[in-house]
Amino acid sequence: MVKQALWIVSILLASSVAMAQETSIVHDGEFEFLRAQFGEEWDAQDLKIDTRLAEIRETNGGKPPNILYILIDDVSFGQMGSRTLNYVTGIDTPNINEFASEGMSLMRMYTEPSCTPTRAAFLTGRQPYRAGIEEVKVALVGEGLAAEEVTIAEILKEEGYNTSHVGKWHQGDIEQAYPHNQGFDWAAFPLHQQVQLSLMTREAMQANNMLGFHASGQSNEFALDQRFNPYGLVTGVEAEAGGMAREVDLEPGEEWTQAHYEEMNERYQRQIIEQLEDLAAKDEPFFLQYWPLYPLNFVYPEQAISRNGGFHADKLQLLDGWLGELFEKVDELGISDNTIVVLMADNGLMYHYEGTSGLSQLIYRGGKTQHLEGGVRTDAFVRWPGVIEAGSAAGDIVHVSDLFTTFARIAGATEHIPRDRVIDGIDQTALLLEGEGNSRRDYVYNYEGLTLRSVVKREFKMHVPPPGVPGAAAPVFNIYRDPREENPQIGNALWAGASFQDMIKRHVLKINEYPHLPLGKGKPYEGIENLRPESVETREVFDSWH
């Protein structure tokens, strides 16, 4: 018992040092404004949290928890985890529903409006504009996540974690941006995303979902520029840290098809199970990412499995079955009690295909690319048996970047978070361990690209007015009363307008103090050892005018 007590004391001392370092993390001005009001209360709570984390680690032989992070593409809030909405939409997600019941549902999870920005925010703990990331890119750009950015994988590796990534990445087509160069020991990922992989195909043209791309869809009688349509793009690659990537499952001169895309998804499902088994067999803790490409799909199946039948809806139901296999494997391996599993979506639905896709806006208006609640509110569930109360929910505001800082805290890796830049992610360990009402965030800044479009505070949301329009005249919505943001109330704006403007001023002051870092730049497709001749050609064409 004495030895045990000394061990706990040593952990507490180490945590106290980490907590002191936490205060030196550079956060946005609004968090500092809150900390000035609640800092003493939070510090006292952190002492209790440190004790609890030490006890959890002792229960697991001194080993920090494993982390499995699952990020699904383009699914609006309410689409997963609800039996009621299953019946409303005709899409059954029983495995996700059961998973949600086993942990905490984060009912106000905010993301970025589209996939690349959200993923960058999670990886770096920083809203994407701070890293020069503006939007989703489809073909060659010679850009990506800069080597100077520090990812959660790099931070966890400093604490002895093994790291693997499977599935969508979409952080750029330059070598420094690849996952195996951003902290992952092993990765299987496509260079681009589903617009290339599922939409830019003959089958999507035949489904009337991608017009003008495939040469067979029109006569091309007056076409001159033979390089207007993207050509020779790299598809899926695999790589280990320190090595070169290698493209798989596509031969030189071979046309990419829907069958290739379906095999890619099936391969990633096999590989996530394989990676889980391999990592669980090692003595070290692991951080494993699974970012499926499904439900993004633009071709109807030969036989629908869902009542809905839409080309996104059907693949969401299929994905639910695959996730059930993954959750079952976690249990089968006997690692559930010391594994945090997070499941969420990266942004709202691709509303451009609403109706035929089978997905809809549901509760909140808007979707992918938009700052509206329907674009930046998603389902999010966290399971940690014996630590997070099963069947619990939290109405507190959380942002996807908070997972970066929270994972670092739980893993004992806070000291590795950079101190030379703004970290937007707020440590939400208290919320996970103590439950609803313990978030340290009541605000979100919603950007579209580099433009601030709205600001959330509590249940109020101001759409940022154009230059010259006073805050008192800006549209302010009560999200509880008007979740679709259709009826701004002047009574809200009259008292809140000045406070929202002050929030923006605090935000801008911090940007001035810590200017944005540049986006990574480079030559596309460097670091891939088996480029097909057509990929070499398309890169040469790209280089010829850059």
pLDDT, tens only, 225-240:
988 989 999 999 999 9
pLDDT digits (tens, 9 = 90+) for 358-413: 999 999 999 999 999 999 999 999 999 999 999 999 999 999 999 999 999 999 99
Question: Residue 402 burial (CB < 10 Å; 0-12/13-18/19+)?
Answer: buried
pLDDT digits (tens, 9 = 90+) for 115-168: 999 999 999 999 999 999 988 888 899 999 999 999 999 999 999 999 999 999
pLDDT digits (tens, 9 = 90+) for 473-508: 899 999 999 999 999 988 888 899 899 999 999 999
Same domain, 434 and 493: no
Confidence of residue 22 (pLDDT cuts 50, 70, 90): very low
Tally of domains in the chain: 2
* Cis bond upstream, residue 295 (ω within 30): yes
Domain boundaries, position 501 = 458-513
CATH code of the domain covering residue 26:
3.40.720.10
The mean per-residue pLDDT over the stretch 228-257 comes to 96
Does some domain include residue 519?
Answer: no
The mean per-residue pLDDT over the stretch 341-345 comes to 98
Measured CA distances, 489 to 203, 437, 474 (Å): 47, 27, 10
Confidence of residue 23 (pLDDT cuts 50, 70, 90): low
Same domain, 70 and 9: yes
Rounded CA separation 487/493 (Å): 12
Domain boundary among 412, 447, 482: 447
Decide if pLDDT at 73 tops 50. Answer: yes
- Smallest Cα–Cα separation from 413: which of 432, 401, 427? 427
Rounded CA separation 197/297 (Å): 9
Same domain, 433 and 465: no
- φ and ψ at residue 432, rounded to 5 degrees: -70, -40
Task: Give 488's contacts (C-beta < 8 A, 6+ positions apart).
Answer: 463, 475, 476, 477
Distance linking the first and last C-alpha atoms of the chain: 67
Does some domain include residue 521?
Answer: no
Does the pTM surpass 0.85? The reply is: yes
Q: Max Cα separation, the chain?
A: 85
Of 98 and 219, the one with more pLDDT: 98
pLDDT digits (tens, 9 = 90+) for 438-465: 999 999 999 999 999 999 999 999 999 9
Same domain, 219 and 351: yes
Same domain, 239 and 291: yes
Rounded CA separation 474/192 (Å): 38
Does some domain include residue 533?
Answer: no
